[in-house]
Amino acid sequence: AKELPESQCDVLIVGAGPAGMMLTTWMARCGINARIVDKRSMKIFNGQADGLQSRSLEIFDSFGFADRAWKEANHMLETSGQNPGDDGTLRRSDRVPDAIVGLSRFTQIVLHQGRIERFFLDNIKKHSKDSLRVERAVVPEYLSVSEELCDDHSPKSYPLKVQLRHLTEEEATPAQSDGQTIQDGLFRSNLAEDDTDDLIAHSRANAGSMEVVRAKYMVGCDGAHSWTRRQLGFKLEGEPTDFIWGVLPDIIPITDFPDIRERCAIHSASSGSLMVIPRENKLVRLYIQLTEVKPDASGRADRSQITPDIIIKAAQKILAPYKLSYKYCDWWTAYQIGQRVGTNFDYRNRVFLAGDAVHTHSPKAGQGMNVSMQDAYNLGWKLALVVKGVAQPSILKTYQSERRRIAQDLINFDHKFSRLFSGHPAKDVLDESGVSMTEFKDAFVKGNMFASGLSVDYGSSTLVAKGGDAAEQGDGTDVSSSMTQIVGKQELATNVKLGMRFPSYKVLNQSDARPWHFQEWFKSDGRFRLVVFAGNVLSIAQKERLDAFCENFTASTFLAPHIHKDIGLLTCHSAKRIETELLRDFPEVLHPFDDKTGWDYNSVFVDDLSYHEGHGEAYKKYGVDKECGCVVITRPDQYVGFIGKLDGEGVKAVETYFQGIFVS
Ligand code: FAD
């Protein structure tokens, strides 16, 4: 047989949905030799997921493109409920803020997935200098893992061999439903049969071209039907339920319904329920439960029964007596809820699964794209640092231990939310089959924290120096052997929670008085951050502590090669800004000097009154002592890994933390 062309790459990514894009963004940002392939010939242009939670926007901002999403999207600020009154007619029962006030500098926004994928592509292009592109119409058809090489972490070890098949344009273009002029997303919905095997078979019959890639790591971001997951023999656990959701996304509605421009949950007395999601450009997405379409014996709904006409009729019944029609429909699809979580998120820390490939659930709570991107956000920097030889491969274990628990939380949340949303409203307290509207509202308000993405709290590991729930790793795996020896001093920064993302408050730049949200400086560039809460640097005793810390920090033979390169420094002090001088009061390591560009003026900040925006009260809100301060270490994904004392002795613990992570 003819030899196939063969090449090597460090990370091979399968699937260019939100998870694959996020992972590729990390690869581009960290300069990793990666490839990304997708079986489709084109990216999606409209429809699909649309809700972006606060945490996803914080992440986008750390890569430098949240502003694009923020500007184009519809901002969803209010949520209301419409339920049957005593006479059975709909009336507004509640109006609440859509997001918890003060939790993040971003609120929830809505913009379709096609635009979000565009922002990723532009960012990947910029940071990889156009060397990393999505290779479309390419599918893997064969994966073999060399078991012996899996534990060999030398730079020449490539344990994975993947055969890729290049499809023709025609093979890679998904067919739309017969006779439809409006784009539908059924080919990507979980009601559609997976076509991967057919694509491969078709291409084989036509003698399509192939190549072999040898890779160090591979990540299956190939969605709910994941080919990668199938090769590994991993299963998703859970039950598909029989709620069929007709989603008639993206119409411009013509209606007298008053709450059409806010998120609104509507429970009709007997015609089912509906969720309004107001979108950009006057579009509105309606999530409608289709009670007419029942699944067949295999548990799958007959797709041919679902049409825009059926969906709009269902919506009209739920909204009656209000009127609803439309002239323009942008996209539509149908979706069946199946709540499942993968048993394994990785194979020997060489092949990983992310996004819908390891968890599926209803689209209604607006979580899928967010959690999928955040899986990849968690994994990307770890892979990058390991590939670069900076971090020990053992940190990769924390991907499963951290993300599987989140996936389980997501399924629990979705389970509860779907049940409450899909049920009919209880007529009274004795109506046990119905859903109590008070319970629905409570779940909604509590769920807001989860839905913002800000409740994520990673357990103890080498990366998170917190004691306590160390054994609870979500998957039962004992990671205690890799557990860090130190425990961070939570009491020194009571509101900067170990394991959670570093919160953001306003601080001023010491050099030019400009107010910033502190988090804006925690860029996703693959570096940890040592945050020096320098305290009152004008007190002699505190200045001595700061100097001793900085002196020992720079003198540490273990840490020195990593300073600025793998550990960025950010300082926030609490003395009066106008009485403090950057060059006089702060050791050089906190604002390093560069031969070509001089001092770094963007690394020392102060908690002080601004000229135009009031006082951020950052120390108070972070729960840090204004006199003595402390040090906080955040990981490259902004989650808090360690909190310790700011003094000469404190460097020892910082060193121990990094000794558990860095190679040398
Ligand atoms: P996907 O987006 O499924 O991407 C997988 C990619 O892999 C695709 O590009 C596919 O072509 C490619 N691929 C698959 N198999 C192969 C293969 N064998 N070889 C090569 N490439 C392959 N989520 C939200 O957060 N908010 C919402 O409001 C929301 N609404 C939704 C509405 C609908 C109608 C649907 C269907 C989903 C919705 N979701 C929502 C869910 C969200 O779309 C998914 O959770 C998200 O897209 C998952 O991202 P992913 O990257 O893991 O997988």
Which positions are catalytic?
50, 279, 287, 363
Q: Is residue 408 part of a domain?
A: yes
Q: Distance between CA atoms of 615 and 637, rounded to whole angstroms?
A: 27
280 lies in some domain: no
487 and 367 in one domain?
A: no
Say whether both 497 and 612 belong to one domain: yes
Q: Ligand 1 pocket by C-beta < 6 Å: which residues?
A: 14-20, 37-40, 48-51, 139-140, 185, 188-189, 196, 221-223, 227, 247, 333, 335, 355-357, 363, 366-370, 372
Are both 400 and 500 inside the same structural domain?
no
- Between the two ends of the chain, the Cα-to-Cα distance in Å is 46
Residue of 188, 244, 421 to test ligand 1 pocket, by largest number of atoms within 8 Å of CB = 188
Indicate if the pLDDT at residue 176 is higher than 60. no
- Which pLDDT score, from 0 to 100, does residue 482 have? 45
Task: State in Å: Cα 627 to ligand 1 middle.
Answer: 49
479 and 411 within one domain: no
pLDDT computed for residue 477 by the predictor? 43
Q: What mean pLDDT comes out for the span 497-503? A: 97
Q: What is residue 267's three-state secondary structure?
A: strand
Task: Please indicate, yes or no, if residue 508 is contained in any of the structural domains.
Answer: yes
Given a contact cutoff of 8 angstroms between Cβ atoms, the answer to whether 100 and 448 are in contact is yes
Residue identifier of the C-alpha nearest atom 45 of ligand 1: 368
Of the candidates 601, 587, 529, the residue with the CA atom closest to the CA atom of residue 562? 529
ipTM of the complex: 0.97
Residue from 109, 222, 245, 284 whose mutation best tests the ligand 1 pocket (most atoms within 8 A of CB):
222
* Partners of 567 in beta bridges: 528, 563
* Chain center to CA of 503: 16
Domain count across the chain:
2
Task: Please check whether residues 50 and 183 belong to one and the same domain.
Answer: yes
Asked if 500 and 637 sit in the same domain, the reply is: yes
Binned at pLDDT 50, 70 and 90, residue 308 comes out as confident
| Residue 359 shares a structural domain with residue 475 | no
Structural domain including 486 reads 469-659
Boundary-marking domain end, from 417, 447, 477: 417
> Which atom of ligand 1 is the closest one to the Cα of 15?
7
Amino acid present at 105: R
pLDDT at 2: 73
Do 408 and 525 fall within a single domain?
no
**CA dihedral over 349, 351, 356, 360, signed as positive or negative:** negative
Q: Quote the pLDDT of residue 484.
A: 46
Domain boundary, last residue among 387, 417, 447: 417
Tell which one of 186, 372, 406 to mutate to probe ligand 1, the residue whose CB is within 8 A of the most ligand atoms: 372
Nearest CA to ligand 1 atom 46: 369
Would you say residue 43 lies in a domain? yes
Distance CA 501, CA 642 (A): 12
Residue 282 falls inside a structural domain: no
Last residue of a domain, one of 399, 417, 435: 417
- Per-residue pLDDT of 124-169, as tens digits, reads 999 999 999 999 999 999 999 999 999 999 999 999 999 999 988 8
* C-alpha to C-alpha distances, 614 to 507, 510, 518, 617, 661, nearest whole angstrom: 10, 16, 15, 9, 40
> What CATH number did the domain enclosing 24 receive?
3.50.50.60
> Within this chain, do residues 571 and 636 fall inside the same structural domain, yes or no?
yes
Residue 12 domain-assigned (yes or no): yes
- C-alpha to C-alpha distance for 355 and 223, rounded to whole angstroms: 7
Q: How far is the CA of 49 from the centre of ligand 1 (A)?
A: 8
What is the model's pLDDT at position 651?
97
- Structure confidence at residue 260 as a pLDDT band (50, 70, 90): very high
pLDDT on residue 429: 65
Closest by alpha carbon to 139, among 114, 157, 165?
165
Is 626 a domain residue? Answer: yes
Q: Is 442 a domain residue?
A: no
User: What is the distance in A from the centroid of ligand 1 to the CA of 372?
Assistant: 9
Q: Hey, whose CA ends up nearest to atom 33 of ligand 1?
A: 48
Looking at the structure, tell me whether residues 393 and 474 fall in a common domain.
no
**HSE on the CB side for 43, CA within 13 Å?**
20
Instruction: Give residue 470's pLDDT.
Output: 47
Cβ–Cβ under 8 Å, residues 513 and 605: no
Residue 408 sits in the same domain as residue 484: no
Give the pLDDT band (50/70/90) at residue 332. confident
The CATH number of the domain holding residue 501 is 3.40.30.20
| pLDDT score recorded for residue 630 | 98
Strand, coil or helix: 539: coil
Tell me: do 506 and 629 sit in the same domain. Answer: yes
